[in-house]
Amino acid sequence: MSAPTIAQQKQSFVVKANQPAAEIQPTMWGLFFEDINMGADGGVYAELVKNRSFEFDTPMMGWKEQKAEGSANTVLIHNRMENNPTNRRFARIRVRNEGENFGISNEGFRGIGIKQGSQYNFSVMARQQEGSNTSLIVELVNAKGEKLGSATVNPQGKEWKTYTASITATGTDPKARLNLWAKGKGEVDVDMISLFPKDTWKQRPGGLRADMVQLLADMKPGFLRFPGGCIVEGRTLDERIQWKKTIGDVADREVLINRWNREFAHRPTPDYFQSFGVGFFEYFQLSEDLGAEPIPILSCGMACQFNTGELVPMDQLEPYIQDALDLIEFANGPVTSTWGKKRADMGHPAPFNMKYIGIGNEQWGEQYIERYKAFETALTAKYPDIKLITTTGPFPAGKEFEYLDNTLRSMKQTRVDIIDEHYYNTPQWFRENATRYDKYDRKGPKIFAGEYAAQSVAIASPENKNNWHCAMSEAAFMTGLERNADVVVMASYAPLFAHVDGWQWTPDMIWFDNLSAVGTPNYQVQKLFSTNAGSHTVPVTLNNEAVTGQDGSFVSATVDKKTNELILKVVNTSGTQKNVDFKVDGVTKLNSKGVLTVLQSDNLDQMNTIENPRAISPAQSQISVKNKNINLTLKPYSVNVVRVKMLGMSTI
Ligand code: AHR
């Protein structure tokens, strides 16, 4: 694309503000969550200790023994799999030589983020062996080993109990460590060694990182899709996510290898496991906190087809279907039901009011259709009102896509409510596909644009950047989604989160380190659209045609019936400053003042970083409106949103 210029071009658009065409679903702009790039463990799950219960493949991964050379003191890993199959291992700290500084140290997730003045809550499950009286000194240290705070816990007796302590940090460091020193002769057993900031989202103990959730809340998302992504399917069927294993006491949630641990040879993450501290209960709770519809996606009995593609035989699909039925009961059932009671026991007697469920993630082939039909029959029989989301695979075109799209649309006996489409493609593809849904069947299934992101280099290339070129091109495409709101009912950028030191996939919507999080330009675009959705689309044309890229202009217009506002989204993907007019028909009058919000950069490579988080951020100004005419000067490479009150209008 060319360098920006200020030569003026004139475009005159016509808006028919009294001709609402489609209702914009409250679900229109939402979130896709997957535990990729340390999005959950090491990310939004605020646990600061890695491998807190020694369940990783290598039990001491993330931990280091601290002792003098030749010391007789030891740490032994015990496995009690017969008694406790979901939390098998614990560590026995054996102090033979009392005088020595001896203990274990945890490195956190690429360090532990500690902030001066903040309180950190430590907990450990522990018990003493016969005749032992060993206390534990908990210590936070910075990367240089200097103390940032400490506390002592004194485990008592032979039964497992949880002991807690809190520490207020005296310094800040994104790469701090946690030390646990053993004092006094004996043998003390430890498990579930945990450290959380006190200030989690909504101050929930053992909760989520407040700064990261706040960025989500600021978007006012319409839905939360969880828990993925390919992670749902698993590399093998054994490694798929099974929601029942993610609820209840966190100590009993079975740790599972993360699918992204070894997915990319160029970005190996051998220390990536799922603790399920964020499990299905927490996803429902987060959806509720955000005012977003919960959209769980479940395995349909097909492991990731980019990996093993394992299939569960049709005659053994029943447990998978039962999981889906039980999940609906867990979310919505009365407290007297088996699964509704489990929800109530976790502190949420009221139903979560789940309305959608996704069957499979990115499946393809006739094996999917076979399995989907079996799910549909069982789900429709018991829960006819729950909307079913089906997949058309990983690509938005091609043989596999066409097979599934045609088959799903032509099935007569099987219900298909919403089809999930994914597109990871070039910025140019996004601009060229703003018309994608113009020709879709208006009476067919609805569309969930469930995963999309412009790739600056190539799909899943580690060189991809969250730059302005990609974000602006997504905005152009999104005007097409909005214009087709009668067909497209949900859309979400993917993936959501990435740790700057622990990612596997780029681009991502929000990047974070251990102390802060930053919304990319793509985040700013998503937020601008989701906080300015409106309730109904209205026609906006240039020479009687929809505005889908003429001279680099992409426009969608909506009205908000509640506030009686006209909302214009105008994307100028050209490198030229433009003067544009909107002639608004169907209103008696517009307010003489409106609000213009602009995202813009002359530099298409511009990104937001932890160091410079607001390089691309919204700039707001007031604009004057004359009669029924809105005149705007559009900067080169800009995404613009105008809101203006409609006064004394004809009926809408
Ligand atoms: O968003 C990253 C991955 O891309 C998702 O897990 C998968 O569904 C898609 O292929």
User: Burial of 435 by CB count in 10 Å (0-12 exposed, 13-18 middle, 19+ buried)?
Assistant: middle
CA distances to 257, 521, 574, 578 from 5, in Å: 52, 22, 9, 10
Q: How far is the CA of 541 from the centre of ligand 1 (A)?
A: 36
* Ligand 1 atom 6: residue of nearest CA: 229
Query: What is the reported pLDDT for 354?
Result: 98
Q: Which of 362, 376, 400, 482 is catalytic?
A: 362
Nearest Cα to Cα of residue 558 among 16, 86, 11, 8: 16
Query: What is the reported pLDDT for 649?
Result: 63
Q: How far is the CA of 54 from the centre of ligand 1 (A)?
A: 29
**Atom number in ligand 1 closest to CA 361:** 8
* Ligand 1 atom 4: residue of nearest CA: 229
Mean pLDDT by 10 residues, the chain (652 residues): 66 96 98 98 98 98 94 96 95 93 97 98 98 96 98 98 98 98 96 98 98 98 98 98 98 98 95 98 98 98 97 98 98 98 98 98 98 98 98 97 98 97 98 98 97 97 98 98 98 98 98 98 99 98 97 98 97 96 96 98 98 98 96 98 87 47
Tokens matching residue 43: 């990310």
Q: How far is the CA of 522 from the centre of ligand 1 (A)?
A: 17
Q: How far is the CA of 229 from the centre of ligand 1 (A)?
A: 5
Q: Report the residue among 31, 33, 34 best suited for mutation to probe ligand 1: largest number of ligand atoms under 8 A from its CB.
A: 34
pTM: 0.97
Q: What stretch of H or E contains 287?
A: helix 280-290
Q: How far is the CA of 248 from the centre of ligand 1 (A)?
A: 28
Query: What is the reported pLDDT for 99?
Result: 86
Q: How far is the CA of 365 from the centre of ligand 1 (A)?
A: 18
Count of all residues that appear for the chain in the document: 652
CA distances to 54, 105, 219 from 179, in Å: 15, 4, 38
- Is the Cβ–Cβ distance between 642 and 625 less than 8 Å? no
Q: Which residues line ligand 1 (CB under 6 A)?
A: 34, 36, 228-230, 361-362, 394, 451, 494-495, 505
**Atom number in ligand 1 closest to CA 453:** 1
- Is the Cβ–Cβ distance between 269 and 209 less than 8 Å? no
Q: What stretch of H or E contains 216?
A: helix 210-217
3-state secondary structure 463-509: CCCCCHHHHHHHHHHHHHHHHCCCCEEEEEECCCEEECCCCCCCCCC
- Is the Cβ–Cβ distance between 526 and 31 less than 8 Å? no
d(C-alpha 260, C-alpha 269), whole Å: 7
Q: Report the residue among 362, 392, 461 best suited for mutation to probe ligand 1: largest number of ligand atoms under 8 A from its CB.
A: 362
* Ligand 1 atom 3: residue of nearest CA: 229
* Ligand 1 atom 5: residue of nearest CA: 229
Query: What is the reported pLDDT for 204?
Result: 98
**Atom number in ligand 1 closest to CA 306:** 10
Pairing type for strands 273-274 and 256-257 reads: antiparallel
Q: Report the residue among 31, 32, 36, 302 best suited for mutation to probe ligand 1: largest number of ligand atoms under 8 A from its CB.
A: 36
Q: Could you confirm whether 362 is annotated as catalytic? A: yes
d(C-alpha 599, C-alpha 526), whole Å: 11
